[in-house]
Structures are given as structure tokens and as C-alpha cells.
Amino acid sequence: AALADAGPAATRALCSAGRCVGLAFQLRDDLLDAFGDARDTGKPAGGDIRSGKPTYLAAVARARAEASGDRWAVDVLRGAFGRGDASDAELASVREVFVATGARDTVEEKIGRLVAQGLRHLDTAVLEPEATGQLQVLMRSASGVPDTVAREVVPLSVILTAEDEGAGR
């Protein structure tokens, strides 16, 4: 907005879009830290768990495990979080809790909603069509959200099913 000498309305819209996608980017980073491959991310998986970083992913998993009375999941989270020496097996158990509690899917859905909201904000900024298109691509790319999710919130299970069918799995 500053580089393009945008007016106040466009600047507000772009700031709102950026805030939404910035949050989505952080949530994606948290998922990649837990589930990503070090060869793709450039950092070892599980760093947030080992450091005890209070991520949204961990908070959702803990809240759901406690609410459902899932002692095993609560114990896994308590036992591994903040332990720099947590083993690969303990990290795998934490990832299992993230999936079993639905925390992973919840974060994926939240990312999709944030990107969709960011794109709606972008639509309210009166920009050149080419600039809008480039910003849309950048926003989707930064958050790791496929085009279909950014346009419409689609449950992760539908996305994975469609990808699996397309790949012949």
C-alpha cells in the first residue's frame, strides 16, 4: 500500500488481508513444525513441542483432550511438551494426539477460513486486476492453502479424499 501510494480505504483493506494471511502463515508454520519433513522445511520436526511453544495446535489438542477426559492424550502432551530431550517416539505420540483430538483438522480449517477472509478483504481494496491477482497468489502461497480452500472453506477430509482419488490411491 505504501509503495503504491494507496489511499486510506485500500490501505485498511490490505492491512486486514495481510493480518489474516499472517495468522494463517503462522498456523501453517506450526503444523509444519509438528508434521513437516525436515528435508522440506529446513528445520527438524518437533521443535515447538520440545521447546514448549504455546501454539494454537497444542492448545486445541490439550483443551479437547481435557474436555473429553482422554487421560492418555493429556499425559502424552504433559510428558513431551517443553522437554528438549523428547524422543522421536514421544513426538510421534504427540502428533497422534494432534490428529486424534481433531486439532490438526481444526487448524487446517482455521487456515482456510483466515485465507478466505483475507481474500475478501483484498477484494474490497480497489487495485489493478493484475496486482490483485498477484496478491491472491502470494496470499495462498504464504499460507500453503490450495486454491479451492482459499475460495471456499472445504473440510480437510474432503480435500484429502479428492487428492487421494486423483492420485489413484
| Model pLDDT, residue 147 | 63
Mean pLDDT, residues 39-46 taken together: 86
State pTM to two decimals.
0.80
| Distance separating alpha carbons of residues 31 and 3, to the nearest angstrom | 32
| Model pLDDT, residue 101 | 98
Helix or strand or coil: residue 150? helix
First-to-final CA distance of the chain? 45
| Distance separating alpha carbons of residues 132 and 128, to the nearest angstrom | 6
* Sign of the CA dihedral with 82 first, then 86, 57, and 44 last: positive
Mean pLDDT, residues 92-110 taken together: 97
Q: Are 23 and 38 in contact (CB under 8 A)?
A: no
Task: Report residue 72's pLDDT band, with 50, 70 and 90 as the boundaries.
Answer: very high
For residue 61, count other CB atoms closer than 10 A to its CB: 29
